[in-house]
Chains A and B, each alone.
Chain A
Amino acid sequence: MVVVHTAGRSRTGYSGIPAWVFVIAAVGAAFVLLPLAAMVARVNWAQFLPLITSEASLDALWLSIRTSAASTVLCVVLGVPMALVLARSEFPGQRLLRSLALLPLVLPPVVGGIALLYTFGRQGLLGRYLEFAGIQIAFSTTAVVLAQTFVALPFLVVSLEGAVRTAGHRYEAVAATLGARPSTVLRRVTLPLVLPGLASGAVLSFARSLGEFGATLTFAGSLQGVTRTLPLEIYLQRETDADAAVALSLVLVAVAVAVIGLSIRSGIGSGRRDGALAA
């Protein structure tokens, strides 16, 4: 029989965690939550609505949501095949390739922006040929999407690769012996099995895209309504109007909490649906 371990602590069982660990954990939680509380305390509630509904703010919010949605789609389209290849196939240099694919996780976003600029910029590796074709990417909304995809892609790949590994290979083997072609196995067995992992990966990618700042500023600039996303707007406002920056920050926090809350409520953020996956 398959024993399914439900994650989390039991109420009655022995946890084995020393008391001082709880203390440090509480300090850590406070470290995360206190700054948020400090920010909320600093909000100018009287001016809150006018501040977040100014034209510049709405432009930035709308641009952020559009570009983050687009880069999430791009992450899914590119990331699902990457995760499958990394999780399921074996070839020389695979470990190296995984490390390189996940590089944007540890790379400073500014460096990513510069790298993108020398790839897709007017004088860039690909950009100079795109320029011939009349396509300009740098400092456009497309550049925002590319910058966000660049930094968010590894989140989806890591999350999904874990799910694919956990789901195991055996359902796919059975499906193949029942006569299903590899594409059919992928569509009807693999993807449905890893759907929770895919969903949580997509949520992570969306959240990371929403917060992207450095690569966007470097590669796409800061043009209102075109490339100035919410984080850029907040940074800009902070120089001149601290109240506006705080209000917009709160909006960003609210969107992030809503996204994560949504994924938890629909039970897709947990990474597994039920015990069947752990077989």
Chain B
Amino acid sequence: MSFEFSARLEERAFDVSLELAPGETVAILGPNGAGKSTLLSLIAGLLRPDAGRAVLDGKVLFDVGSGSSDWRPPHRRGTALLAQEALLFPHLSVVDNVAFGPRSAGNSRKSSRDAALHWLGEVGAVELAERRPAELSGGQAQRVAVARALAADPELLLLDEPMAALDVHAAPMLRSLFKRVLAGRRALIITHGVVDALTLADRVVVLEEGRIAEVGPTRQVLEQPRSHFAAGLAGLNLHTGVVVSDGLRGADGLHVAGHLDPEAVPGQAGVAVFPPSAVSIFLEAPHGSPRNVFPAVIHHLEPHGDQIRVRAGGFMADVTPAAVADLALEPGLRAFFVVKSASVAVYPA
């Protein structure tokens, strides 16, 4: 059983095909206007494609063009949509909002309410049950919206930048909530955040101008971006391992000092992230100040904007051409890659 999707929409120059395995979460990245929301609207049935076909677990969502015209309305698709804004129905209490899906499916008032309370419990919002949406903060409203979407028991969950409208305090909490509820669940999540893609998604699809520019496992796309957009977005140093109290112990045994994301707990799998621009290169090991010093052999130099990107081992550093000349950096040279621990963020992976 799987999800297969292929659709063309001339008006928006949109032409995308993709597949999802059961239980797979895929992040959709791309610049504004790339067709990310169009993709979700087509899947949810809020837009009709000019041509294409989508099948969800053997259920044809649409099959348009080439003589056939089969189109299943949104309420019979099993594809709950969660948008940037919570869009809780303002005239219903929180618990009635969450019970909306079960009620629409024909369940009794009692069992719908029970289901609603269960899902409110899952998102840690039971105490909000009797409130009105107008009385909730942005983060609370979005948690309730997550419960409402899950209570509808969707076969495919569609998330359109669900954390973009939240303030910096609410986002990490919601991210850990998503990490929990998306585990083993089939979902598509539009995001602008590398961290979201890294922590939530198994695979990344990069959309550019209505086409898929790149697709692959999250780490691979972020470490070695081939598309223009992913390169601008990512091109980050990523180091996987186990979270420790002051950073991360790499799978290769390397210790990376950094500051822990609030959701990262020592002992769990994690990833240390730092931008190449935060890395400097020395020919001799420097001393003092809490810094990471990674000895490595340079194997590649390439222009990157007005900087030079130096690759060595698993690391990338962006340095000025003047520094490259001063240090006489060249492939084969052994050097020390230095990054302040304050520039390293450790996330749960």
Contacts and interface: CB of A to CB of B under 8 A. Distances in A.
Contacts of B303: none
Interface in A163-189: 170-171, 173-182, 184-185, 188-189
Contacts of A126: none
A171 B79 contact: no
A178 B112 CA distance: 13
A182 B87 contact: no
Given A179-B101, A180-B75, A174 B134 contact: no
Main secondary structure of the interface of B (DSSP, over half): loop
Q: What 9 pairs across the A-B complex have the smallest Cβ distances?
A: A276-B90, A180-B104, A176-B74, A177-B81, A178-B101, A192-B91, A178-B152, A179-B104, A176-B75
B73 interface: yes
Given A173-B46, A276-B133, A181 B87 contact: no
Main secondary structure of the interface of A (DSSP, over half): helix
B250 interface: no
B104 A184 contact: yes
B113 interface: no
A177 B74 contact: yes
A1 interface: yes
Nearest to B152: A178
B62 interface: no
A170 B104 contact: no
B75 A170 contact: no
Interface string A258-279: 0000000000000001111101
A143 interface: no
Interface of B: 44-46, 73-81, 83, 85, 87, 89-92, 100-101, 104-105, 133-134, 138, 148-149, 152, 154, 158, 165
Most central of B46, B90, B154 by chain A CB within 10 Å? B90
Contacts of B87: 170-171, 174, 279
A171 B134 CA distance: 15
Nearest to A170: B87
A3 interface: no
Given A178-B75, A178-B149, A193-B90, 13 more contacts: A171-B87, A171-B89, A174-B87, A175-B100, A176-B74, A176-B75, A177-B74, A178-B80, A178-B148, A180-B100, A180-B104, A185-B75, A276-B90
Contacts of B101: 178-180
Most central of A176, A181, A184 by chain B CB within 10 Å? A176
A2 interface: yes
Nearest to B41: A173
A279 B154 CA distance: 25
Given A177-B77, A179-B104, A274 B85 contact: no
Nearest to A179: B104
Given A180-B104, A274-B134, A276-B133, A175 B165 contact: no
A192 B100 CA distance: 14
B100 A170 contact: no
A188 B91 CA distance: 9
Contacts of A170: 83, 87
Contacts of B81: 173-174, 177
A261 B321 CA distance: 77
7 contacts: A173-B74, A174-B81, A177-B80, A181-B75, A188-B100, A192-B92, A193-B89
